Amino acid sequence: MSQYDRIYATVRKIPPGKVATYGQIADLAGLYGKSRLVGYALFRVDIEADIPWQRVINAKGEISYSFQRQGGDYLQKLLLEEEGIKFKNNGKIDLKKYRWQPKKIG
């Protein structure tokens, strides 16, 4: 399984109404310290794919805005709001409330 496949498999596990950080996904995918790789992998995802790319945000609880995403940032915010995630006035998401905490096995 490629690194991107591991990232996508992990992101698919995030339930609606929850978010994870790039670093969290990297760690869960066994790619410690490779949060940028997660960002690159998700940048390549077609927005119509079955990968809930919108549920991955930065460690500050923010959407990582980039002119290269051609408006995908605004779509990301809309999709998260449709899932019930509330943004604070400063544009951040409360990670204590919305961060995905997968159950440990074993």
Predicted confidence at residue 74, as pLDDT, reads: 80
Q: Are 33 and 58 spatial neighbours (Cβ–Cβ below 8 Å)?
A: no
**Is 103 within the bounds of a domain?**
no
In a domain? residue 64: yes
**How many domains is the chain built from?**
1
On whether residue 106 sits in a domain, the answer given is no
- 88 phi and psi, to 5 degrees? -75, 170
Range of the domain at 85: 3-98
Query: What does the pLDDT look like over 51-82, one tens digit per residue?
Result: 999 999 999 999 987 655 555 668 899 999 99
Give the H/E segment covering residue 20.
strand 20-21
What CATH number corresponds to the domain at position 89?
1.10.10.10
pLDDT given at position 38: 97
pTM score of the predicted model? 0.90
With CA atoms as reference, report the closest residue to 15 among 103, 100, 104, 77.
Answer: 100
pLDDT at 64: 83
Q: Would you say residue 67 lies in a domain?
A: yes
For the residues 14-35, what does the mean pLDDT come to? Answer: 97
Residue 4 to residue 10: CA distance in whole angstroms:
10
User: What is the rounded distance in angstroms from the CA atom of residue 10 to the CA atom of residue 2?
Assistant: 12
